[in-house]
Amino acid sequence: MEQVVFRDLGLIDYKECWDDQEKLFNEIISLKIANRKVSELEQKHTQSYLLFCEHPHVYTLGKSGDESNMLLGEEELKEKNASFYKINRGGDITYHGPGQLVAYPILDLDNFFTDIHKYLRYLEEAVILTLADYQVKAGRIEGLTGVWIDGDDPIRARKIAAMGVRTSRWVTMHGLAFNINSNLGYFNNIIPCGINNKAVTSLENELGRTVALEEVKEKLRTHFTAVFECKLIVA
């Protein structure tokens, strides 16, 4: 069973965490390149990671995103005490903030399976199973990423978890943002994921009560390890 190093970074600045991801991502890729230059017996096993965190208020725009989906100017961002970054993941614009559980799997998919579509569906599945623990029925919308509630109803459909990833040489970074006790008002300042006719929700909003973030983290960890058939090592 593949071992994945787990780290809970708590509340961490977005750029600091992005730099941490890049460091691990590049270390794995460098080792994979080095392994190609030696015999199979001399090759070293790559280490995968799963990072959990929260971020202070921040908006991030993926490399394929449209900057016009950000509805705030620089001064308005300052008033909201929020930051804005153009980053190197797929997808459009999204929001991160306190009360949102962000998961960054930095995995060498060569040690799991080499299928990006399957990888995205597995991330979604871990969230769907976590929501089921709270008797919240969630699923997918064909052609869109992320996890949705009432996805089969065009009027009521609302997103509870967004996803955006980057991959190179079958190594992943970035990941998913799961709204637990998020201030949903911050989503009004963007066109989330470039989709202007779908609402955003949170677990708190669905249940009508605040949910302990640590409790959700434990459930998501459990489902992640089951879906990816791995073992988490805290480090």
Structure tokens at 57: 């208020």
pLDDT tens, per residue, the chain with 235 residues: 999 999 999 999 999 999 999 999 999 999 999 999 999 999 999 999 999 999 999 999 998 888 888 899 989 999 999 999 999 898 889 999 999 999 999 999 999 999 999 999 999 999 999 999 999 999 999 999 999 999 999 899 999 999 999 999 999 999 999 999 999 999 999 886 656 667 999 999 999 999 999 999 999 999 999 999 999 999 8
- Give yes or no for a contact between 149 and 160, defined as CB atoms under 8 angstroms apart: yes
Q: Which of 2, 233, 234, 25 is nearest to 111 (CA)?
A: 2
Query: What range defines the domain where residue 202 resides?
Result: 2-234
Q: CATH number of the domain at 66, please.
A: 3.30.930.10
- Give yes or no for a contact between 233 and 6, defined as CB atoms under 8 angstroms apart: yes
Length of the chain: 235
* Active-site choice (17, 53, 193, 230): 193
Q: Give the DSSP per-residue string, 62-125.
A: -TT--GGGB---HHHHHHTT-EEEE-SSSS-EEEE-TTEEEEEEE-BGGGT-S-HHHHHHHHHH
pLDDT for the residue 161 = 97
How much is the pTM?
A: 0.95
> Residue 59 and residue 23: Cα distance in Å, rounded?
22
Q: Going by C-beta distance under 8 Å and a sequence separation of 6 or more, which residues neighbour residue 213? A: 54, 99, 101, 180, 181
Look at the chain and report how many structural domains it folds into.
Answer: 1
Q: What is the DSSP letter of 181?
A: S
3-state secondary structure of 173: strand
pLDDT for the residue 66 = 87
pLDDT for the residue 196 = 64
pLDDT for the residue 14 = 97
Give the helix/strand (H/E) hosting 160.
strand 158-168
pLDDT for the residue 198 = 76
Q: Which of 222, 203, 221 is nearest to 212 (CA)?
A: 203
| Active-site residue flag, 230 | no
